Structure 1
Amino acid sequence: MNHYKRELDKIFQESLGSTQRSVQQLEHSEHLGKNTANELLSQREKLERTEKNLDEIHRTTFETQRNLNSIKSFFGGFFKNKFSRGSKEPSADIPPSKCDSELNSHLNSSSSSSSASAIESPSLSADSRKTIHETRYEEMDNKIDENLGQMSSKLESLRELGKILGNEVDDQNEMINRIQIKTLQNDEILLLQNNQMRKLI
């Protein structure tokens, strides 16, 4: 009988310790995931500011070109106006992306929601639970079930966060590509205008 109790103690203690360690590891992963999400949101703000600045530079070069055209027109129109036909000023308003809204929404909801969750089916069968009813093993088994519920909840949360983080990375990669294109376009325009001004001088 003592041997049976020792074995039962060992099984429950190992199960309880294992589930507690798993919950702690998942909490650590969740913490890292949220830190990554906050860093991505901070990075998004910088990318959006950069893109808006590039749009502002392009608007400025548009106005500069108009001034150059006026000067060239005064001197007899030495150059063709590259921007005169169908030129439109770009908009600097960058709407918030779906990914950004999802990421903010997920962080806000996860911080306000409770981490505890009950599992759908207990770890022990009904007969086994009757056997340990009103013993210290029942309390340990309840704690194991509580840990399993938290693990299930945190795994689902991490899965959803991973999906949203992936979408955000893809979205920011698109922003980086746009920024690279706009940077090259602005460089070309500024080079052209510098050449025009040198010829006018």
Structure 2
Amino acid sequence: MSNPFDDDDYSAGARSSAPVKSYTTPAASGTIDDDVNFYEQEIEKYMQQSLDSTQRSRRQLEESEAVGVSTAEDLLVQREKLERTNKNLDEIDRTTAHTQRNLNSIKSVFGGLFNRFSKAPKDAPAKSADDDAKLAASRSDNKLNKTIGSINDSQGAGGMATGGPSLSETSRQAIKGTRWETMDNEIDENLDAMSSNLARLQTLGLALGNEVDDQNKLLEDIQRKADKNDSVIRHQDAQMKKILGYKVPKPGESAGLPQSGKK
């Protein structure tokens, strides 16, 4: 079959004025309509591939966003646990300070005089119901929590970024009223949704990164306090054993019984 575009009688004006038909339109065999239908099939095939590709990408982005939000929720729960641990370590530090004062009083031959003139440590504040409220307030003020709320609001409102149509106005007019127009509209909708997903993922990613950095600093603080408390408790344990007459073991030895004559 000869190329119809080489035919002088088939002018550019005739091509531009020809109505756009679906490739399912029957045509007489061996006519120009056969070639038109062939190209229509090729165009629709590529449009369908584009539509399928944008749909897959949209689903993957939505799944990634859901995983990101779930990870953020887990990080917020972890932050609450770390803050509670940090608060408990502060409580242990105050308790060991009070214990050390009592040990010093016991060891002093002038225990009564020592107690009278020594400065009493500050009493540990009693745990109240406000502690849980403070932790809840800390979470509500957290940037990551605000980011999650903003993402949920954006998803609930159904807002999508609009980047404009993917085809020019001339092309859109050419396919107006055909199934290609519906496919093109779906492609544009998928692209707008993907743009919104990417924007939210970028914001969420930055918030997750900042939260991880903050929790790493909190973990370092917890490690420092835990090491300090462990050292103090071991030292106080050795002092108590010495007062009670236990033989303080050398490294690698087990603790002995109290020496005879000790009370």
1:127 paired to 2:170 = yes
State the partner residue of 2:247. Answer: none
State the partner residue of 2:222. Answer: 179
Q: Which amino acid aligns with 2:231?
A: E
2:203 corresponds, among 124, 143, 160, to 160
For residues 182 and 89 of structure 1, the distance between their equivalents in structure 2, rounded to whole angstroms, comes to: 19
Deviates more, 1:180-189 or 1:95-104: 95-104
State the partner residue of 1:148. Answer: 191
For residues 223 and 52 of structure 2, the distance between their equivalents in structure 1, rounded to whole angstroms, comes to: 52
Q: Which amino acid aligns with 1:163?
A: L
For residues 101 and 211 of structure 2, the distance between their equivalents in structure 1, rounded to whole angstroms, comes to: 39
CA 1:68–1:175: 2 relative to 1, 3 Å: same
Q: Is the 1:27–1:154 Cα contact (8 Å) retained in structure 2? A: yes
For residues 72 and 225 of structure 2, the distance between their equivalents in structure 1, rounded to whole angstroms, comes to: 27
TM-score between the two structures when normalised by the length of structure 1: 0.84
Runs of 4+ off more than 3 Å = 87-100
State the partner residue of 1:76. Answer: 110
State the partner residue of 2:151. Answer: 110
Q: Is the 1:103–1:165 Cα contact (8 Å) retained in structure 2? A: yes
Deviates more, 1:110-119 or 1:54-63: 110-119
Deviates more, 1:177-186 or 1:31-40: 31-40
Indicate the structure with greater helix content: 1
Q: Is the 1:99–1:171 Cα contact (8 Å) retained in structure 2? A: no
Structure 1 residues not aligned, in runs of 5+: none
State the partner residue of 2:235. Answer: 192
For residues 111 and 29 of structure 1, the distance between their equivalents in structure 2, rounded to whole angstroms, comes to: 14
For residues 199 and 129 of structure 1, the distance between their equivalents in structure 2, rounded to whole angstroms, comes to: 92
For residues 98 and 201 of structure 2, the distance between their equivalents in structure 1, rounded to whole angstroms, comes to: 49
Q: Is the 1:102–1:164 Cα contact (8 Å) retained in structure 2? A: yes
Q: Which amino acid aligns with 1:38?
A: E
CA 1:135–1:90: 2 relative to 1, 3 Å: farther
1:46 corresponds, among 68, 81, 95, to 81
For residues 180 and 118 of structure 1, the distance between their equivalents in structure 2, rounded to whole angstroms, comes to: 45
What do you get for the CA RMSD once the two structures are aligned? Answer: 2.7
Cα distance per residue 1:162-184 (max 9 Å; x no partner): 11111111111111111110011
Q: Is the 2:95–2:124 Cα contact (8 Å) retained in structure 1? A: no
Q: Is the 1:118–1:146 Cα contact (8 Å) retained in structure 2? A: no
1:58 paired to 2:93 = yes
Q: How far off its partner does 1:46 sit?
A: 1.7
Aligned length: 194
Q: How far off its partner does 1:100 sit?
A: 6.9
CA 1:171–1:101: 2 relative to 1, 3 Å: same
State the partner residue of 1:17. Answer: 52
Q: Is the 2:144–2:208 Cα contact (8 Å) retained in structure 1? A: yes
Cα distance per residue 1:19-51 (max 9 Å; x no partner): 101000101111111121122112212211211
Q: How far off its partner does 1:72 sit?
A: 3.4
Structure 2 residues not aligned, in runs of 5+: 1-35, 245-263
Q: Which amino acid aligns with 2:154?
A: S
TM-score between the two structures when normalised by the length of structure 2: 0.66
Bigger-Rg structure (1/2) = 2
Cα distance per residue 1:98-118 (max 9 Å; x no partner): 997111111122122235514
For residues 56 and 150 of structure 2, the distance between their equivalents in structure 1, rounded to whole angstroms, comes to: 25
For residues 147 and 42 of structure 2, the distance between their equivalents in structure 1, rounded to whole angstroms, comes to: 44
